[in-house]
Chains A and B, each alone.
Chain A
């Protein structure tokens, strides 16, 4: 009995090793799943929240912001500084807008607080690395963003329609 079990154990062990080798060999020929980031990029969902931008109205040639300061008050880190003036027609307009991305935590409270469709998250820009810390303090020109003239695309159902780069899906 003992000797039979001895040989059976050896054969079972050998079989297990072969099973393991077959698994690794299968994966060896299967191809890789690596995304080589700087050359290849994963497609982002359309409504992913990457960077905060100030919406600029092309037709009226001005920012939508009216400097109501709601975003400034909503910001938990006080990283938004903005000023505005009352124009001759009685409407308030934003003159300077500064968002310090080195302290921003992208909580989105400012976007929620905005009542004039002036602040938004964009999905296409998400690489925030800079060489100098000061570059993270962005003003209204750096944050200027024109909404694409395609309301239908905005209303489209959520799916991955962002431009995919070559080889991104494998």
Chain B
């Protein structure tokens, strides 16, 4: 039967056979991660291109338009054309920039979010590195983007970029708190930080965590949208106020890095949401007789959550900066703390002390 695990075993078996043939078996520990990284980068690049196309189509249809339909079938190659345009574009740099941070910032913004993909389980056993502190790792890694954004805003030597960077830093730090707090009940219930372990728990329990933890799911989605700097939380790059925010002075490939980073952040947070709340690679209830591979289920759920985030962007108006802070600190954080307490009480009453 075709499962993600079989594919991975087949590929790794072939690779190790190739190593043995080439006489470099001792280097497998070095080459394997590189191959994983390249495969993951290829996947994410294609997926992000698809997402950009999808976002444009979704927004178009929500506004009764058609969207890109000229380049390739259904306009699917539009993003490819855009990517080519971005890479061959002149890299315009401000004269008074701070050279080294200006150069490093987009790389950090891209790498920090890209590294989050390491622990995402696409299927049972299909994961680059199944860390036993997976959630903690993702939260820590995605927190790096704030450094990149602040660096970009500071080194551009531009008022708008600096203001955007400041706003972004304030926003991400605020919403990071509620993001972490919304995940805590899941960890309390499952007793593990590993993403695969959480999916396995949902498989044994027979339900997905979106049912008992709908509040946590809503808080997580909201915070993840804010973390990714997407509308309605796109104050750091609000066009009408701050031009482009922190990436005002970036163009060409460097801008593409920021752009890619933003979409990868969406992918990573949606993937975490799918894993934590929607049962990861598990099939829909009563549909497991279809024998659809787990990664198909995972990608379907992933696209659903990403569609939700896109619908947010094209539905809700942008929050004002003080409302943004109010919402984060006065609504999301108290609610998530109440959610933690309620979960603790309910689970204690249901399963007693040894609730695992």
Contacts and interface: CB of A to CB of B under 8 A. Distances in A.
Contacts of A27: 61-64
Interface size class of B (residues with CB under 8 A): 10 to 19
A49 B64 CA distance: 30
B61 A32 contact: yes
A75 to B, nearest CB: 41
B64 A20 contact: no
Contacts of A130: none
A155 interface: no
A33 interface: yes
A20 B66 contact: no
A10 B311 contact: no
The B interface, classified by DSSP as helix, strand, loop or mixed, is helix
Given A10-B331, A10-B335, A28-B58, A33 B64 contact: yes
Contacts of B62: 24, 27-28
B181 to A, nearest CB: 16
Given A10-B335, A17-B316, A20-B316, A25 B64 contact: no
B353 interface: no
Interface in A1-25: 10, 14, 17, 20-21, 23-25
Nearest to B307: A28
B270 to A, nearest CB: 17
Interface string B316-355: 1000000000000001000100000000000000000000
B216 to A, nearest CB: 14
Contact of A21 (B60, B64, B315): B315
A20 B315 contact: yes
Given A20-B315, A21-B311, A24-B315, A30 B64 contact: yes
A128 interface: no
Interface residues of A, number: 17
A20 B62 CA distance: 12
A36 B69 CA distance: 10
A129 interface: no
A25 B66 contact: no
B336 to A, nearest CB: 12
Interface string B257-297: 00000000000000000000000000000000000000000
B315 A23 contact: yes
A34 interface: yes
A43 B302 CA distance: 43
Contacts of B335: 10
Nearest to B64: A33
B331 A28 contact: no
Nearest to A36: B66
A20 B331 CA distance: 20
A133 B218 CA distance: 61
B138 to A, nearest CB: 26
Q: Which of B62, B311, B314 has the most CB of A within 10 A?
A: B62
A127 B65 CA distance: 24
Give 8 closest A-B pairs by Cβ, nearest first: A24-B315, A24-B62, A20-B315, A34-B66, A33-B64, A28-B61, A32-B66, A28-B62
22 contacts: A10-B331, A10-B335, A14-B218, A17-B316, A20-B316, A21-B311, A21-B312, A23-B315, A24-B315, A25-B311, A27-B61, A27-B62, A27-B64, A28-B61, A28-B62, A28-B311, A29-B61, A30-B64, A32-B61, A32-B65, A34-B64, A34-B65
Interface of B: 58, 60-66, 69, 218, 311-312, 314-316, 331, 335
